[in-house]
């Protein structure tokens, strides 16, 4: 089951995968209320009862409460709706023993005035995508003991006790353009690595396609388990500054938790010893190379200024990285050198051979040059496919004069920081280039 809708400030897509043989069920809902626009993801254990009615009850009660109870504080509205749903499930279970043990969880998201309020319980999670990384906004998943016992455990299962305290955001998320939130329920999500999620979310594919790919990866690790995903992508936002409260991991008491923490500390110490050993070996090699083996003759300061880029050995032509620069026929005498910096202070282009599996994200990570500058660089014409992606084995000239990396662009790297080009390079265009070149010409 899937749904995709585009609204004024955000577009969302939600997909649910419920295999017949699964022992859990997931469901999602989206509706507009006087409190704001609401998303609800619900999950329930089907091992002791029919889980779909429990999930349906969560969806129906959430919509009923938030459409009829209007609160001034959206955060309070989310918390009150979850408390109401817990009490409703508890009473249904008490009056109808056939309902069994719900072992249900939910994540409620309320968007109002371009701010995002949220609360969660059970096996659900939510993360923020900033354009370059993901940040956990809730604790990913829930401990099995909490899922089974529920009761008044903070964030545990719904409907097992009259007393219930939901987890609610301490402060609302304030997203900016191109931000996105990923809400998940069910199994398989903890197995996904962050770089895999980031690569998919950074792609220009439609929101629905991103959700399909993510859900396919999550269910691939546990094919007979139910999973659900909701992706909300923001645009036309009035605010320029993002703010949020990152989730903090908690460690429960008990000997098993203490042992787990000690084990992690032990592994950290092993890595520290390994890093120290590598540093000692590196220092030894540097001493040997600089002072003991074939010392390098001094180089005159008349040598021309060139950009040095580390590259793989030249025996592998597919991975060569070279500097595209012209060397003067004769070095200029010291007395003839100009007294002021010339436009040559802009670094020369760097030659890069596209490898199989390369993405714009990988190329940006190496050079910190937005793809727009590379695609519109005249020497690179005809080196991209119909989707604007670089062809494998194509030799690109990377204009590192547009780089945000201080090593590659020491004089102008600040001009291409995220604050200037945008967190997803949305400001990179011809007008940006014209302004930059005008400033360079003025400074020379």
User: Residue 270: pLDDT above 70?
Assistant: no
Structure tokens at 173: 């998320």
Give helix 207-221 / helix 194-202 axis angle, nearest 10°. Answer: 160
Q: Check if the beta carbon of residue 225 is closer than 8 Å to that of residue 16.
A: no
Q: By the 8 A CB rule, do 137 and 173 touch?
A: yes
Tell me how far apart the alpha carbons of residues 342 and 280 are, in angstroms, rounded to a whole number: 42
More confident residue, 194 or 373: 373
- Round to whole Å and give the CA distance between 380 and 332: 32
SS3 230: strand
CATH class, range 2-234:
alpha beta
The 10s digit of each residue's pLDDT in 216-261 is 888 776 666 778 889 999 999 989 999 998 876 543 333 344 334 4
Q: Report the first-to-last Cα separation within the chain, whole angstroms.
A: 61
> Distances from the Cα of 70 to the Cαs of 80, 115, 161, 274, 382, in angstroms?
11, 17, 26, 58, 57
Tokens, residue 402: 């547009």
pLDDT band for 2, please (50, 70, 90 cuts). Answer: low
Residue 189 clears pLDDT 50, i.e. is over it: yes
Q: Running DSSP on this structure, what letter comes out for residue 409?
A: S
pLDDT grade for 322, boundaries at 50, 70 and 90 = very low
| Spatial distance between the Cα atoms of 232 and 115, rounded to a whole number of angstroms | 13
Burial of 430-444, coded b for 16+ CB within 10 Å and e otherwise, reads eebbeebeeebeeee
Per-residue pLDDT tens for 256-267? 443 344 445 555
**Does position 38 have pLDDT exceeding 50, yes or no?**
yes
Furthest CA-CA distance within the chain = 98
Distances from the Cα of 306 to the Cα of 85, 256, 328, angstroms: 67, 58, 11
Q: What does the domain layout of the chain look like in residue ranges? A: 2-234, 317-327+340-443
Overall pTM surpassing 0.75 (yes/no): no
User: Per-residue b/e over 334-363, b at no fewer than 16 CB within 10 Å?
Assistant: eeeeeeeeeeeebbbbbbbbbeeebebeeb
Beta bridge partners of 37: 32, 111
Residue 357: pLDDT band with limits 50, 70, 90 = confident
- Interval 306-320: pLDDT, tens: 333 343 444 444 444
pLDDT grade for 17, boundaries at 50, 70 and 90: confident
CA atoms of 90 and 161, how far apart (whole Å): 6
């Amino acid at each position: 089951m899937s749904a995709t809708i585009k609204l004024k400030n955000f577009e969302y897509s939600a997909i649910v995968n419920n295999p017949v043989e699964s022992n859990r069920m997931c469901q999602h809902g989206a509706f507009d209320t006087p409190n704001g626009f609401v998303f609800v993801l619900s999950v329930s254990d089907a091992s002791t009862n029919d889980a779909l009615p429990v999930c349906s009850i969560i969806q129906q009660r959430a919509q009923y409460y938030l459409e009829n109870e209007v609160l001034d504080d959206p955060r309070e509205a989310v918390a009150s709706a979850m408390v109401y749903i817990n009490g409703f499930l508890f009473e249904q279970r008490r009056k109808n023993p056939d309902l069994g043990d719900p072992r249900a969880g939910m994540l409620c998201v309320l968007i109002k005035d371009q701010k995002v309020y949220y609360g969660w319980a059970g096996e659900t999670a939510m993360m923020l995508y900033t354009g370059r990384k993901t940040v956990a906004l809730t604790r990913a998943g829930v401990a099995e003991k909490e899922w089974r016992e529920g009761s008044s455990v903070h964030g545990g299962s719904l409907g097992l006790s009259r007393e219930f305290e939901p987890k609610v955001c301490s402060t609302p998320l304030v997203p900016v353009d191109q931000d996105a939130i990923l809400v998940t329920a069910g199994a398989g999500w903890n197995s996904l690595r962050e770089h895999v999620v980031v690569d998919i979310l950074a792609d220009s594919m439609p929101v629905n396609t991103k959700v399909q790919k993510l859900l396919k990866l999550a269910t691939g690790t546990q094919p007979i388990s139910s999973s659900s995903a909701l992706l909300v992508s923001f645009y036309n936002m009035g605010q320029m500054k993002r703010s949020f409260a990152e989730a903090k991991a908690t460690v429960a008491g008990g000997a098993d938790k203490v042992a787990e923490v000690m084990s992690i500390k032990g592994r950290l110490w092993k890595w520290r010893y390994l890093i120290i050993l590598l540093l000692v070996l590196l220092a030894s090699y540097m001493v040997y190379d600089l002072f003991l083996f074939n010392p390098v003759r001094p180089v005159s300061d008349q040598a021309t200024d060139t950009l040095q880029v580390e590259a793989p050995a030249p025996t592998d032509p597919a991975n060569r990285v070279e500097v595209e620069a012209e060397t003067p026929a004769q070095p200029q005498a010291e007395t003839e050198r100009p007294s002021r910096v010339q436009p040559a202070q802009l670094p020369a282009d760097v030659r890069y051979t596209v490898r199989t599996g390369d993405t714009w994200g990988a190329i940006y990570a190496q050079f910190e040059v937005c793809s727009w500058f590379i695609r519109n660089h005249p020497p690179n014409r005809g080196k991209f496919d119909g989707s604007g992606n670089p062809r494998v084995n194509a030799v690109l000239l990377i204009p590192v004069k547009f780089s945000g990396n201080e090593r590659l662009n020491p004089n102008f790297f600040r001009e291409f920081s995220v604050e200037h080009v945008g967190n997803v390079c949305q400001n990179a265009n011809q007008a940006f280039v014209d302004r930059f070149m005008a400033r360079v010409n003025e400074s020379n």
